[in-house]
Amino acid sequence: MTIQRDILITEVALRDGSHAIAHQYTVDQVLRVAKALGEAGVPYIEVSHGDGLGGSSLQYGLSLTDELKLIEAAVSVSGDSKVAVLVLPGIGTIEDMKEAIKLGAKMARIATHVTEADVSAQHISKAKDMGLETVGFLMMSHMAPVDKLVEQAKLMESYGADTVYMVDSAGALLPHEVRERTRALRDHLGVNVGFHGHNNLSLAMANTLAAIEEGAVRIDGSIRCLGAGAGNTQTEVLVAVLERMGIQTGIDLYKIMDTAEEVVAPILQVPQEITRDNLVLGYAGVYSSFMLHAQRAAKKFGIDSRDILIELGKLKVVGGQEDMIIDVASEMAKARN
């Protein structure tokens, strides 16, 4: 298939990758990564706690470094690349966005559960009023039928979003499902369509290409797969694949490869691969950032983390309900004694 358009990539390792390293980014790490990404020509670099502005907490995980310092650091070295922030209404506030703007953030990605776009109205409209490029981010998109996804995306568009993303937070979607959803969004929206995938079923690249072929023009990637669960669509691989397809990203292939190998790889605590727990995330349709929480609960209560994740999937637990993980593990342990 010949695709006659360019693709804009947002690099999410300095936000989604925060989950993978338990939110322990240092200023020095962010400086080195953001500088290298800027030199490689990455258009957008997302920086914040894994759960967005204001996410540092006992429930979601405490950050080693104040995220505002990380944003400031990224802006200072990223050159022409624009720094983006994630905001989850109910966690991140309008005041948080104002602080990020003061430090040089240029894009806000307002994230809600796929059926709760209405809670994004104030954040999207305010972000737009404050001069930010504004993205609606519909998480756990596998949990809604196509018509509901379209309905919710149109709400975000009506609030002022420049782009609306279908977000496969669990890495649970299959390529034909991504095609159907992207096509429906493209047919019903007047703004750009984006896609954010996770690799828990080893389908992030396939799903990303399916989204692009159906009209998505804004795509997320995580360099060296540094993201929650098994990571996201691997940025340096995506750039290479798109070049093979004749699609321009504006990113220097050699430089992004070097950044992955020399700058980002040393940050990984363990290699990003599809482990049994990552696989279960995709299989059960569970929020990718739940993995470390489930592993800790499994160790505490002496049960299999996979059983916890499967039960969370049955309960249709969504992002923001991390406190349920301990409750589920505790009840499972009691039932076995």
Question: What pLDDT was estimated at residue 287?
Answer: 86
DSSP SS3 for 108: strand
Q: How far apart are CA 154 and CA 160, in angstroms?
A: 10
Whether the pLDDT of residue 2 is over 60: the answer is: no
Each residue's pLDDT tens digit, 314-333: 998 887 788 889 998 999 98
Query: Is-catalytic flag, 19?
Result: yes
Question: What pLDDT was estimated at residue 317?
Answer: 86
Q: How far apart are CA 77 and CA 199, in angstroms?
A: 29
In whole numbers, what is the pLDDT of the chain averaged over residues? 95
Mean pLDDT computed over 136-140? 97
Burial class (CB in 10 A: 0-12, 13-18, 19+), 337: exposed
Question: Which range (108-117, 138-147, 315-324) has the least confidence?
Answer: 315-324
Whether the pLDDT of residue 292 is over 90: the answer is: no
DSSP SS3 for 164: strand
Each residue's pLDDT tens digit, 190-214: 999 999 999 999 999 999 999 999 9
Q: How far apart are CA 60 and CA 82, in angstroms?
A: 26
Decide if 233 contacts 221 (C-beta within 8 A).
Answer: yes
Fold of 8-266: TIM Barrel (3.20.20)
Task: Give the pLDDT band (50/70/90) at residue 146.
Answer: very high
Q: How far apart are CA 44 and CA 38, in angstroms?
A: 9
Binding-site residues for substrate, in ranges, read 15-16, 169, 196, 287
Binding-site residues for Mn(2+), in ranges, read 16, 196, 198
End-to-end CA distance of the chain: 57
Q: Which of 19, 49, 123, 293 is catalytic?
A: 19
Here the tokens at position 191 are: 């703004």
Whether the pLDDT of residue 253 is over 90: the answer is: yes
Question: What pLDDT was estimated at residue 244?
Answer: 96
Each residue's pLDDT tens digit, 16-37: 999 999 999 999 999 999 999 9
Domain ranges for the chain: 8-266, 289-336
Here the tokens at position 139 are: 């998480």
Whether the pLDDT of residue 134 is over 80: the answer is: yes
Question: What pLDDT was estimated at residue 291?
Answer: 85
For the entire predicted model, the pTM comes to: 0.93
Place of tokens 């010949």: 2
Fold of 289-336: Helicase, Ruva Protein; domain 3 (1.10.8)
Q: How far apart are CA 229 and CA 170, in angstroms?
A: 8
Each residue's pLDDT tens digit, 60-83: 899 999 999 999 999 999 999 999
Question: Which range (118-122, 172-176, 323-327) has the least confidence?
Answer: 323-327
Q: How far apart are CA 177 and CA 110, in angstroms?
A: 23
Question: What pLDDT was estimated at residue 203?
Answer: 98
Decide if 55 contacts 87 (C-beta within 8 A).
Answer: no
Question: Which residues, in sequence order, are bridge partners of residue 50?
Answer: none
Question: What pLDDT was estimated at residue 29?
Answer: 98
Whether the pLDDT of residue 4 is over 60: the answer is: no
Question: What pLDDT was estimated at residue 289?
Answer: 83
Whether the pLDDT of residue 105 is over 90: the answer is: yes
Task: Give the pLDDT band (50/70/90) at residue 3.
Answer: low
CB atoms within 10 A of CB 245: 15
Dihedral angle sign, alpha carbons of residues 249, 252, 254, 256:
negative
Burial class (CB in 10 A: 0-12, 13-18, 19+), 95: exposed
Q: How far apart are CA 183 and CA 188, in angstroms?
A: 9
Q: How far apart are CA 250 and CA 203, in angstroms?
A: 24
Inter-CA distances, 250 with 41, 217, 253, 269, 286, Å = 6, 13, 9, 30, 34
Each residue's pLDDT tens digit, 87-99: 999 999 999 999 9
